Amino acid sequence: MRILVTGGAGFIGSHIATRLMQQGERVRILDNFSHSTPANLDHIINDIELVEGDLRSEDDVSRAMDGIELVYHEGALGSVPRSIDDPRTSFDVNAMGTLNVLNAARRAGTRRVVYASSSSVYGNTPTLPKREEMSPAPISPYAVSKLAAEKLCVSFWHTYGLETVALRYFNVFGPRQNPDSQYAAVMPKFLRAYTNGQQPTIFGDGEQSRSFTYIDNVVDGNLLAGSAPDAAGKVMNLASDTNYSVNLIARNMAELLGVEFDPTYEPPRPGDVRDSLADIAIAREVLGWEPKVDLDEGLRRTVADFVATHGLSTTTIQD
């Protein structure tokens, strides 16, 4: 099968592409490397087809879509703070870029598009767990852009018969997450601080909670969504069904690294959601999916990979 992974040089996209290669699929990647790195593809670069291009370009997307049967649409401009700083670019990439993907897929006769949506669409409602039938209440430009793209996916299924599946991710973590961007996710930021002999900064009191989900679980769900016969047109959560506080994550990382836990606390950031917890009943029923790697094992793998890749300061915090 010929499969396209948009954003395939990014964190999640590169993991999906790797698994597809291991299963013997023919993989094409579309990426403009603006917020990803070619190094994420070093281990498969000789076995994939790479199209360097931008989701905002109809020509680039159409070129990448030619002859493709299945799309994993991971390409996006992530980060709530980034979207607050520059809402137009986030919307152009995430919403209009998805429209380009869907249009190109429809013209190319592509069978299915699996779209990476986000738990941010639920907003800051105190109701837990988050269920797909809840009314979306996005509070950041990023969340609005992801919801708009999700709605486009559903509309293309109903209007054109293009099979789409939208998977709402909840705080995915694992190897290859970029720790160096000012908009980096919380786990690689914490790891970067600890391995540099510093303490992490936590925004808020640290008791805000998330359904942190290890990357292998997310890849499993995506591959199932690519073929599940009853998934077309559906939106579903893809996450751990347990939530954990940011303090717990930072403390467990410190223990794994053998360093002190004494973070700096700053005021909460605009657009941040207080608590998030996923209901995954639909993914269980429709995809037959179950998260296999729990938080402790996922953290162990992530910390070990980060130290092997980035190194560990010889001057520990206790010194």
Segment 27-55 shows an average pLDDT of 94
Within-domain flag for 31? yes
The answer, yes or no, to whether residue 316 has pLDDT greater than 60, is no
Question: Tell me, what amino acid is at 104?
Answer: A
| Reported confidence tier of residue 78, pLDDT bands at 50, 70, 90 | confident
Within-domain flag for 90? yes
Q: Using CA atoms, how far apart are residues 218 and 293, in angstroms rounded to an integer? A: 10
Let me know whether 120 and 194 are in one domain. no
φ/ψ of 271, rounded to 5, equals 90, -10
Let me know whether 102 and 156 are in one domain. yes
The answer, yes or no, to whether residue 318 has pLDDT greater than 60, is no
19 HSE (CA, 13 A, CB side): 18
Count up the domains in the chain and report the number: 2
Whether residue 186 contacts residue 305, with contact meaning beta carbons closer than 8 Å, is answered with no
Of 31-45, 125-139, 181-195, the least confident = 181-195
Segment 238-246 shows an average pLDDT of 94
| Reported confidence tier of residue 185, pLDDT bands at 50, 70, 90 | confident
Single out the residue of 30, 33, 71, 28 nearest to residue 48, CA to CA: 28
Let me know whether 150 and 98 are in one domain. yes
Residues designated catalytic? 142
CATH code for the domain in which residue 61 is found: 3.40.50.720
Of 87-91, 263-267, 269-273, the least confident = 269-273
| 135 vs 186, residue with greater confidence | 135
Tell me the percentage of the chain whose pLDDT exceeds 70: 97
Within 8 A by CB and 6+ apart from 3, the residues are 20, 25, 26, 27, 28, 68, 69, 70, 71, 72, 226
Whether residue 44 contacts residue 20, with contact meaning beta carbons closer than 8 Å, is answered with no
| Reported confidence tier of residue 222, pLDDT bands at 50, 70, 90 | very high
The answer, yes or no, to whether residue 313 has pLDDT greater than 70, is no
Q: Which residue range is the domain that position 251 belongs to? A: 186-210+242-277+293-310
Report the pLDDT value the prediction gives residue 317, as an integer from 0 to 100. 38
Question: DSSP assignment of 131-172, as one string?
Answer: -TTSPP---SHHHHHHHHHHHHHHHHHHHH--EEEEEEE--E
Within-domain flag for 180? no
Report the pLDDT value the prediction gives residue 297, as an integer from 0 to 100. 97
Let me know whether 93 and 28 are in one domain. yes
Let me know whether 37 and 164 are in one domain. yes
The answer, yes or no, to whether residue 68 has pLDDT greater than 90, is yes
| Reported confidence tier of residue 184, pLDDT bands at 50, 70, 90 | low
CATH code for the domain in which residue 202 is found: 3.90.25.10
